[in-house]
């Protein structure tokens, strides 16, 4: 069960940040690609490649909380809990925050910014990061450093 779209929302998603249920609806094997692709993670005993993996990212310094990488979703919270408990190793997990979809705001950088990343109409007003259209932590940081 999904959170219904609001009247102003359109079901259009960026291919690089697709809701997990949207990926699943595209076919059984779709989940073995993208965020769940098991590249570089061989089975520790057999060396075989897994079908798919769930990547966990450490959330806090203590290492007591992790998030599921690439699990953007519009699933309602009870549905997330039910489905995520199907993942081997997460059957007894305690979920302290559930997933959601976020929308990135961006500007038409090529038409609005100079090569130095300031506004054409207001020199000295600089933009960097996701708002200029780059994606990812490293890319956003690099834009700020430039």
Write down the pLDDT at residue 78.
94
Strands 122-126 and 118-119, bridge-based pairing: antiparallel
How much is the pLDDT for 113? 95
- What is the band of 58 on the pLDDT scale with cuts at 50, 70, 90? very high
Residue spans per domain, the chain: 1-103, 109-145
pLDDT at 96 over 80: yes
Beta partners for residue 113, in sequence order: 119
Q: Say what the pTM is.
A: 0.67
In this predicted model, what pLDDT tens digit does every residue of 66-92 receive, in sequence order?
A: 998 888 888 999 999 999 999 888 999
User: For position 119, what pLDDT does the model report?
Assistant: 96
Report how far apart, in Å, the C-alpha atoms of 122 and of each of 67, 110, 143 are: 40, 15, 19
Q: Name the CA dihedral angle for 45, 47, 89, 71, rounded to a multiple of 10 degrees.
A: 160
Q: Look at residue 2 in the predicted model and tell me its pLDDT.
A: 85
Average pLDDT, the chain: 86
């997933």: which residue's tokens? 99
């Amino acid at each position: 069960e999904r959170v219904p779209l609001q009247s102003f929302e359109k079901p259009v998603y960026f291919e690089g940040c697709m809701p997990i249920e949207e990926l699943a609806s595209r076919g059984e094997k779709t989940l073995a690609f993208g965020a769940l692709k098991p590249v570089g993670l061989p089975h520790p005993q057999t060396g075989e490649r897994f079908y798919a993996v769930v990547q966990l990212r450490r959330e806090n310094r203590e290492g007591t909380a992790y998030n599921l990488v690439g699990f953007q979703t519009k699933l309602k919270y009870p549905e997330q809990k039910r489905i995520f408990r199907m993942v081997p190793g997460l059957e007894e997990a305690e979920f302290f925050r559930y997933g959601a979809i976020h929308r990135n705001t961006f500007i038409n950088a090529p038409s609005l910014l100079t090569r130095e990343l300031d506004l054409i109409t207001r020199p000295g007003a600089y933009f960097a990061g996701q708002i200029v259209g780059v994606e990812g932590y490293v890319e956003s940081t690099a834009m700020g450093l430039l």
